[in-house]
Amino acid sequence: MDFEVLRARLGAGLIKDGEPGYDQARQVWNAMIDRRPAAIAKCQTPEDVSTALETARSAGLPVSIRGGGHNIAGSAVGDGTVMIDLSAMRSVVIDPHRRVARVGGGATWAAFDAEAQRHGLATPGGVVSSTGVSGLTLGGGFGWLARQHGLSIDNLIALEMVLADGRIVSVSEDEKPDLFWAVRGGSGNFGVVTELTFQLHQVGPQVLFGPTFFALEDARDVLTAYARHASDLPRAGCVWANLMTAPPAGVLPESVHGAKVLTLMQFHADLESGRDDLSRLYGGVSPLGDALSPRPFTEAQAFLDPAYEFGARNYWRTHNHLTLSADLIDTLVSLARDLPTPESEILICQLGGAIADIPSGATAFPHRQIPFMSTPGVRWQDPADDHRVIGWLKDVSDQLAAHSVPGCYVNFIAEAEGRSQDAYGDNLARLTDVKQRYDPDNLFRVNQNVPPRLAHA
């Protein structure tokens, strides 16, 4: 296989199977993923990416793309691929006057938030700061700010992309609008994004943020209030519910450490009214402990990082729910009693607000009208436990599926392939047309794949 041109361009930035640094460079967030690319191309410029794509095309190899490396299915890395590693392209440039951020394709939200907050600005991102800006955004992207300011894609103004044929292009509402539509939810199917330009908003610097913990015996009452009142919460607020094992937190009595609890992880941009707004979701139940307090926005964005560090084994499922019915709540609470490891959880993400203002066909992200997503996740260290914990998770997922509606968020899918209809829903047909135009040979197929139109015509 001829990698000479790419070697001349990247030098030590090209790492082939067996070369020094190979095993480290192919690692991603989920330690379950153990795949061997043919070569890893650590790119620093769009021209590097273009040469790497040319090499892959000539060698007849598919391409995988690594932004922040967080994808649960490990789609950044594939057996026998040319893996484009963008982690060196992590610049973040803020224009505080225009309230615009230009971000490299390998940047993380930690870097983005730190720079933007120097000017009191932010855009909707994820809830764990080591996650990549690119991968999260291209799938849709929601976190604490999404009910107020929309998905990450709703704040995207433009992208610089390298297409399958090696061209470096600008993509926006005015330039290649069909592609701009597709990348806003169609994930990494259409090219390598080397720069993203976002609209920013004034946020913080202090926000109200933190967990409030409830006894599992009270979880039914709290979740019932949460289900009833979450959609009335002002858009400045966002609350995710988590059935989990209590951490050894100072705000909790020691007798509770290690017990199963319900945690409401709460965000509110309004320091004055936030606490009252949020407490309506407690259903009058007294919490076990409370760490909700004013904090810098950057601290809120990194608050959950310790619970989700790189290097553990992980498996998730995800379901869309139109309501949290009484039956679903009973099921959730009962399942939480048997979480198989202390790091495992059943998470419920709140959406709605500004996300739902935009029609489902306006971008490729189809799940606009979904107010809640459940994401049960298991997390463990020892491969000997794989069968037990994954088996538990699959059983839980089957039970939650009975209360869900079709479709699921592409960024939460743990299976490496085969879930495209669920991920893209009614937008899949239009996506296949765009794919045919920009990637007719399906070079970018290590993902929830959108096949080119002709492939199945």
64 bridge partner residues: 83
Q: Which is nearer to ligand FAD, 246 or 414 (CB)?
A: 414
Q: What distances in angstroms separate CA 332 from CA 216, 316, 337, 345, 407, one per listed residue? A: 11, 15, 9, 11, 20
Is residue 112 part of the contact set for ligand FAD (CB under 6 A)? no
CB 50 within 8 A of CB 35: no
Sequence-distant (≥ 6) Cβ neighbours of residue 79 within 8 angstroms: 35, 36, 37
Q: Which is nearer to ligand FAD, 290 or 439 (CB)?
A: 439
Please state whether beta strands 121-122 and 293-296 pair in parallel, antiparallel, or not at all (unpaired): unpaired
Q: Shortest Cβ distance from residue 311 to ligand FAD (Å)? A: 12
Q: Which is nearer to ligand FAD, 216 or 244 (CB)?
A: 244
Residue for token digits 């607020």? 237
Q: Which is nearer to ligand FAD, 64 or 350 (CB)?
A: 64
Q: Which is nearer to ligand FAD, 375 or 404 (CB)?
A: 375
CB 58 within 8 A of CB 2: yes
Site string for ligand FAD, 338-377 (x = CB under 6 A): ----------------------------------------
Residue for token digits 């299915």? 73
Q: Which stretch binds ligand FAD (CB under 6 A): 32-40, 188-196, 244-252, 283-291?
A: 188-196
Q: Shortest Cβ distance from residue 441 to ligand FAD (Å)? A: 17
Site string for ligand FAD, 17-36 (x = CB under 6 A): -----------xx-------
**Burial class of residue 328 (count of CB atoms within 10 Å of its CB; 0-12, 13-18, 19+):** buried
Which 225-284 residues touch ligand FAD, going by CB under 6 A? none
Q: Which is nearer to ligand FAD, 134 or 331 (CB)?
A: 134
Residue 55's identity, in one-letter code, is T
Rule CB under 6 A: choose which of 193, 351, 393, 408 binds ligand FAD.
193
Q: Shortest Cβ distance from residue 187 to ligand FAD (Å)? A: 5
Which 296-315 residues touch ligand FAD, going by CB under 6 A? 308
Is residue 212 part of the contact set for ligand FAD (CB under 6 A)? no
Total binding residues for ligand FAD by CB under 6 A? 35
Q: Please state, in angstroms and rounded to a whole number, the distance separating the CA atoms of residues 21 and 366.
A: 39
Q: What distances in angstroms separate CA 36 from CA 41, 136, 415, one per listed residue? A: 13, 23, 18
Q: Which stretch binds ligand FAD (CB under 6 A): 31-39, 72-80, 271-279, 400-408?
A: 72-80
Rule CB under 6 A: choose which of 50, 51, 71, 427 binds ligand FAD.
71
Q: Shortest Cβ distance from residue 217 to ligand FAD (Å)? A: 29
Which 122-151 residues touch ligand FAD, going by CB under 6 A? 126-128, 131-132, 134-136, 138-139, 141-143
Q: Shortest Cβ distance from residue 74 to ligand FAD (Å)? A: 7
Q: Which is nearer to ligand FAD, 121 or 128 (CB)?
A: 128
CB 223 within 8 A of CB 332: yes
- The binding site for ligand FAD (CB under 6 A) comprises 28-29, 64-72, 75-76, 86, 105, 126-128, 131-132, 134-136, 138-139, 141-143, 187-188, 192-193, 308, 411, 447
